[in-house]
Amino acid sequence: MKMAEEVILLDALPSSFGMRVRIALAEKGIQYEYKEENLVDKSPLLLQMNPVHKMIPVLIHNGKPICESLIILQYIDEVWNHKSPLLPSDPYQRSQARFWADFVDKKIYDCSKRILMTTGEVQEAGKKEMIECLKLLEGELGDKLFFGGETLRFMDVALVPFYSWFYSYETCGNFSLRAECPKLMAWVQRCMEKESVSKSLTDPHKVYDYVLQLKKRFGVD
Ligand SMILES: N[C@@H](CCC(=O)N[C@@H](CS)C(=O)NCC(=O)O)C(=O)O
């Protein structure tokens, strides 16, 4: 890394989107300063660096902010292109990795919210759709070791943080994702063998504590 590079990550431990950035920085071997944000009392720095969405994660590289986790991953890949490429060089393969990462953002997050923050029929529909989505992802993984093929790439980094939330989905939804999606679980284990992943993922029980706080705050039981 060049001298005088300053890399700061504004993040919150339970955030899957933040975990993505932590994994990418670890894959690239980038030293950075981690700053935990309190999302119910956001810092002036976060409001200044992400005035549009006021959300974490934000990567601040030499004073300049980059927002939105998937955009941050692409930025990291372009700036630190000396090792561990996240996106493939072939344009079609790149488009496919981006497509599936976008699918995760459009579907998985939405199903999670229904599983964690609703009850009854809405929650049931969320559970059903989550299983459908994960099975679809299993199909895309096929017999490959990783979504990126032989090694961890963009789509793996985009998806694996949600594993930290699986325990909460299963506990709140009273169902077993592990039983439904064994191939995906085997992929999670392969990802977890990488230090960049195991060190970046937040303990599922800590995520669950956070979920319980959220439920209390929003009056969901
Ligand atoms: N699309 C965004 C989502 C980021 C996001 O949802 N961040 C949440 C925490 S997980 C946040 O900062 N929430 C604060 C708020 O909504 O006020 C990304 O990929 O970075």
Nearest Cα residue to atom 15 of ligand 1: 55
Domains along the sequence of the chain with CATH: 7-79 (3.40.30.10), 91-217 (1.20.1050.10)
Parallel, antiparallel or unpaired: strands 58-61 and 33-36: unpaired
ipTM beyond 0.90? Answer: yes
pLDDT digits (tens, 9 = 90+) for 112-157: 999 999 999 999 999 999 999 999 999 999 999 999 999 999 999 9
pLDDT mean over 29-58: 98
- With a threshold of 0.95, does the pTM exceed it? yes
Protein residue whose Cα sits closest to atom 6 of ligand 1: 55
pLDDT at 196: 98
Reported as a single tens digit per residue, the pLDDT across 152-171 is 999 999 999 999 999 999 99
Ligand 1 in contact with 17 (CB < 6 A)? yes
Of 8, 160, 25, nearest to 79 (Cα)? 25
| Alpha carbon distance 152, 166 (integer Å) | 20
Q: What confidence tier does 87 reach under pLDDT thresholds 50, 70, 90?
A: very high
Greater confidence (2 vs 36) lies with: 36
49 within ligand 1 shell (Cβ under 6 A): no
Q: Which of 141, 159, 163 has the alpha carbon at shortest distance from 150?
A: 141
Tell which residue, 120, 125, 13, 27, has the closest CA to residue 82.
Answer: 27
**Nearest Cα to 80, choosing from 131, 32, 130, 141?**
32
Position 189 pLDDT exceeds 70: yes
Residue 145 sits at φ, ψ, to 5 deg, of -70, -40
Which atom from ligand 1 is nearest to the alpha carbon of 70? 19
Task: Measure the CA–CA gap between 80 and 44, rounded to whole angstroms.
Answer: 28
